[in-house]
């Protein structure tokens, strides 16, 4: 197995191939090669920091061996070599050399900080934390949470770059491990690390990680596919060379500068496509591809014209990722055409810059530059991270989360674990009580304390990323009202309120019943002679369906026992002078001519009239809750509506509602966009809306309201299908340059 990192496409390694042992002197040789390469790439760079990190790491790892029997130091050196080939800065290189020192030797992060400074210490610490997480024990369906958590735990994006290089080298040398370990590490690579590389736009690393994992995870499929691809390799390559030449000639004739690359689709991509689309190799349109790299966006489109003029494009295969970049900022024009002799192939057209971004992704922004990167670099990184975050979720304020190197990709969430390793995602500031309720309401209700990372913490402790939380419970324990002031999740809040209300209701029933009995004795009514049916009939007069409810209402003091007794025994009890108004019956039957809000269903009942509350106008996909109004049916609010927080103290009026299925309808939402005042802004917005297939109901522009403020306000009413469409629209608008702020507004 070649220890050299290579720029060429990875040749899949046969699994379980033994690695040749390398001796201690090989370590020194390898270091000198690293140094020489650094000097070759950046003649002006000072080599001392590299040498210092190497000497220190080598001394610490002395005597340690890898599974292959090689000296351990080979690994950090190869990782650093990968980082150098990505042309990353000295902090990354030093971190590469030192990345396993804290994990595998007695050195502390503090020592690293003293010797190599804050940045290196932070990065080494970050890599160590990621290494300690054992993702493999976690369920695959949690992979997305784990990926997010991993990104959330990182406060310097270089940690991820080093970790990916670490993983790449480990995958390249996986052959020395046992089959079980190979499968476990390959699975983790494909579930966690390859998607992160993809998300960060690092196409080359992602491809290598996927292809290597594939060899270990699906050895039979991989071997068969390799054989199939190998069988057609010669003819495929000849065909691609022919095409390449034809295109070069045509582009030169049109005066379009370009250099061309040819490729056969990677085995893993082919495998996924075959499986997903249930097709055979011949039907893969983009098995063969030519990449045209030119100098400008204009020439990208010009080249596309030249191609389509020559060969017939296959309908539905033209994709313009230049006008609409992928969320990881990938840009290219793609088309598939029917080439000579009826053979189809794909063409990707992009500029040099787009190519660099596609291959290196976020690493492109961390490249070493002579004389250190200036402000422009930071701006680029911020832009990148902003894109990244917007892809993940619709954040309200993306501007605040990054200060120079520090990033907090998910400032609104915290990722914690159960002792069994299940990831529990909670809002920032959540407490062990929230954690307990997110496991089960019974755990929450009986929670008496909590241990975080093995230590007892107060119940109001704010959970942090990576915390392992163990909840202490005691049977029969009841939640306290004080918890309402501590918890952060609606779930915990509702459950606590529910328990408190249930307890209070039980008390009210007891009190009400006694109260009624006492009054009956005082007024000379014999309750024993009154039948249950009579009692129920009177209860219904008061809007209660059960005797118990009537008792509760008496206990809460909603009406007096005397009133009730008067109805039960009118000949015995004198009526009171003024009878207070009876509570309106909350249930309003559904009237068939009001079909407006059939889109919302009350759980367990189809006949209740619902309407969307004006204060928050919930749209499909948003979590909703119903509130029984007096006489108007069920008001449906968004769970996040501030009115709900107040209303829901009257728990008995709360009712579960859900979005009814299979109703195609649209919801009107009102957005206000704050923009720079420049020509073309409106048309860019309408184009974005058009691309998201969103109907515009109204749209108006006016100057910003405050006299001191510059810019313009655009208000619009849109028709959207659901929350997801709205989110897409919002992030599309946000991507337009010059947009300052966008807000959803409500009328009520
Ligand atoms: Mn390592």
Give the mean pLDDT of 251-258.
Answer: 93
pLDDT for 114 equals 95
**Ligand 1 midpoint to CA 171 (Å):** 11
**Ligand 1 midpoint to CA 411 (Å):** 28
Alpha-carbon 147 to chain mean position: 8
Give me the active site residues, please: 103-104
**Ligand 1 midpoint to CA 107 (Å):** 15
**Ligand 1 midpoint to CA 184 (Å):** 16
Asked if pLDDT for residue 598 goes beyond 60, the answer is: no
Give the mean pLDDT of 540-545.
Answer: 83
Give the mean pLDDT of 576-588.
Answer: 39
Please state, in angstroms and rounded to a whole number, the distance separating the CA atoms of residues 603 and 384: 43
Q: Residue 11's pLDDT band (boundaries 50, 70, 90)? A: very low
Contact 11, 174 (CB under 8 A): no
List the single range of 45-49, 211-215, 502-506 with lowest mean pLDDT. Answer: 502-506
List the single range of 48-52, 125-129, 358-362, 607-611 with lowest mean pLDDT. Answer: 607-611
Asked if pLDDT for residue 33 goes beyond 90, the answer is: yes
Burial label for 745, CB within 10 Å (0-12, 13-18, 19+), is exposed
The CA-atom distances, in angstroms, between 125 and each of 118, 163, 199 are 10, 11, 23
Give the mean pLDDT of 447-469.
Answer: 87
List the single range of 448-457, 459-468, 578-587 with lowest mean pLDDT. Answer: 578-587
pLDDT for 39 equals 93
Q: Residue 607's pLDDT band (boundaries 50, 70, 90)? A: low
pLDDT for 581 equals 39
Please state, in angstroms and rounded to a whole number, the distance separating the CA atoms of residues 584 and 561: 19
Tell me the per-residue pLDDT of 655-704, one tens digit each, with 9 for 90 and over. 778 887 655 677 888 888 888 877 777 778 877 887 787 877 777 777 66
Asked if pLDDT for residue 17 goes beyond 70, the answer is: no
Please state, in angstroms and rounded to a whole number, the distance separating the CA atoms of residues 145 and 141: 9
pTM for the model stands at 0.53
Task: Estimate the share of the chain in helix, then strand, then coil, as percent rounded to the nearest 5.
Answer: 50, 15, 35
Contact 99, 112 (CB under 8 A): no
Of residues 19 and 631, the one with the higher pLDDT is: 631
The CA-atom distances, in angstroms, between 450 and each of 149, 346, 461, 462, 590 are 22, 57, 9, 12, 48
Asked if pLDDT for residue 124 goes beyond 90, the answer is: yes
**Ligand 1 midpoint to CA 338 (Å):** 47
Q: Residue 625's pLDDT band (boundaries 50, 70, 90)? A: confident
Tell me the per-residue pLDDT of 139-158, one tens digit each, with 9 for 90 and over. 555 566 666 666 666 667 78
Burial label for 101, CB within 10 Å (0-12, 13-18, 19+), is buried
pLDDT for 316 equals 75
**Ligand 1 midpoint to CA 485 (Å):** 44
Highest averaged pLDDT of the listed ranges 130-139, 196-205, 215-224, 736-745: 215-224
**Ligand 1 midpoint to CA 357 (Å):** 26
Q: Residue 402's pLDDT band (boundaries 50, 70, 90)? A: very low
The CA-atom distances, in angstroms, between 79 and each of 5, 65, 82, 505 are 9, 16, 5, 65
pLDDT for 426 equals 86
Three-state secondary structure call for residue 131: helix
**Ligand 1 midpoint to CA 99 (Å):** 6
Asked if pLDDT for residue 293 goes beyond 90, the answer is: yes
Asked if pLDDT for residue 711 goes beyond 70, the answer is: yes
pLDDT for 411 equals 54
- Percentage of the chain modeled with pLDDT above 90: 23
Tell me the per-residue pLDDT of 480-531, one tens digit each, with 9 for 90 and over. 888 988 899 888 998 898 888 888 788 778 878 888 888 888 888 888 888 8
Q: Which residues of 482-508 are buried (b: 16+ CB within 10 A; e: fewer)?
A: ebeebbbbbbbbbbbbebbbeeebeeb
Tell me the per-residue pLDDT of 71-80, one tens digit each, with 9 for 90 and over. 999 999 999 9
Three-state secondary structure call for residue 583: coil
Asked if pLDDT for residue 646 goes beyond 80, the answer is: no
Of residues 469 and 560, the one with the higher pLDDT is: 469
**Ligand 1 midpoint to CA 75 (Å):** 7
């Amino acid at each position: 197995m070649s220890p050299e990192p290579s720029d060429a496409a990875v040749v899949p390694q046969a699994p379980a191939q033994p690695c040749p042992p390398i001796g201690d002197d090989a370590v020194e040789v390898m270091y000198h090669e690293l140094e020489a390469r650094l000097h070759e790439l950046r003649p002006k760079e000072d080599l001392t920091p590299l040498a210092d990190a190497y000497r220190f790491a080598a001394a610490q790892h002395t005597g340690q061996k890898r599974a292959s029997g090689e000296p351990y130091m080979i690994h950090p050196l190869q990782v650093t070599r990968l980082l150098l080939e990505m042309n990353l800065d000295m902090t990354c290189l030093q971190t590469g050399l030192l990345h396993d020192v804290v994990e595998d030797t007695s050195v502390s992060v503090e020592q690293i900080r003293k010797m190599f400074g804050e940045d290196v210490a932070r990065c080494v610490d970050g890599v160590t934390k990621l290494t300690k997480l054992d993702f493999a024990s976690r369920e695959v369906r949690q992979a997305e949470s784990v990926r997010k958590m991993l990104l959330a735990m990182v406060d310097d994006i270089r940690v991820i770059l080093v970790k990916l290089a670490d993983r790449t080298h480990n995958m390249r040398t996986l052959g020395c491990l046992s089959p079980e370990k190979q499968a476990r590490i390959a699975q983790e690579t494909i579930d966690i690390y390859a998607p992160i590389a993809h998300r960060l736009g690092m196409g080359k690393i992602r491809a290598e990680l996927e292809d290597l994992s594939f060899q270990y995870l699906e050895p039979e499929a991989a071997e068969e596919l390799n054989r199939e691809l190998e069988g057609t390799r010669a003819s495929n390559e000849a065909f691609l060379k022919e095409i390449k030449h034809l295109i070069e000639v045509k582009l030169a004739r049109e005066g379009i500068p370009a250099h061309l690359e040819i490729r056969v689709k990677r085995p893993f991509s082919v495998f996924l496509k075959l499986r997903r689309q249930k097709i055979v190799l011949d039907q893969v349109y983009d098995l063969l591809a030519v990449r045209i790299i030119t100098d400008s966006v204009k020439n990208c489109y010009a080249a596309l014209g030249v191609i389509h003029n020559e060969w017939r494009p296959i309908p539905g295969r033209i994709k313009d990722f230049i006008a609409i970049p992928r969320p990881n900022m990938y840009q290219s024009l793609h088309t598939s055409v029917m080439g000579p002799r009826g053979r189809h192939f794909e063409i990707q057209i992009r500029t040099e810059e787009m190519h660099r971004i596609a291959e290196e992704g976020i690493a492109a922004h961390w490249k070493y530059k002579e004389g250190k990167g200036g402000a422009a670099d930071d701006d680029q990184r911020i832009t990148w991270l902003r894109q990244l975050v917007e892809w993940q979720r619709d954040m309200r304020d993306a501007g605040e989360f990054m200060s120079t190197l520090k990033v907090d990709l998910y400032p609104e969430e915290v990722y914690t674990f159960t002792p069994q390793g299940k990831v529990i995602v909670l809002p920032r500031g959540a407490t062990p009580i929230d954690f307990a309720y997110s496991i089960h309401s019974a755990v929450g209700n009986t929670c008496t304390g909590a241990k975080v990372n093995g230590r007892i913490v107060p119940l109001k402790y704010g959970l942090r990323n990576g915390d392992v939380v163990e909840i202490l419970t005691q049977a029969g324990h009841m939640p306290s009202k004080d918890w309402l002031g501590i918890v952060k999740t609606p779930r915990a809040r509702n459950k606590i309120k529910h328990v408190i209300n249930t307890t209070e209701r039980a008390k009210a029933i007891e009190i009400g019943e006694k109260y009624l009995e006492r009054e009956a004795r005082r007024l000379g009514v014999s309750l024993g002679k009154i039948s249950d049916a009579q009692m129920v009939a009177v209860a219904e007069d008061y809007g209660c369906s059960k005797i118990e409810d009537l008792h509760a209402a008496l206990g809460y003091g909603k009406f007096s026992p005397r009133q009730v007794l008067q109805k039960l025994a009118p000949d015995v009890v004198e009526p009171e002078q003024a009878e207070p108004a009876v509570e309106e019956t909350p249930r309003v039957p559904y009237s068939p001519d009001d079909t407006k809000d059939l889109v919302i269903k009350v759980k367990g009942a189809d006949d209740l009239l619902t309407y969307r509350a004006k204060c928050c106008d919930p749209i499909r996909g948003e979590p909703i809750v119903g509130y029984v109004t007096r006489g108007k049916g069920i008001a449906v609010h968004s769970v996040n509506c501030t009115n709900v927080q107040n209303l829901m103290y009257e728990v008995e009026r709360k009712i579960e509602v859900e979005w009814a299925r299979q109703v195609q309808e649209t919801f009107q939402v009102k957005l206000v966009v704050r923009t720079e005042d420049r020509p073309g802004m409106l048309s860019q917005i309408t184009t974005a809306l058009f691309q998201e297939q969103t109907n515009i109901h109204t749209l108006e522009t006016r100057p910003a309201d405050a006299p001191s403020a510059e810019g313009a306000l655009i208000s619009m009413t849109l028709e959207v299908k659901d929350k997801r469409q709205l989110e897409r629209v919002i992030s599309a608008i946000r991507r337009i340059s010059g947009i300052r702020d966008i807000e959803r507004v409500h009328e009520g």
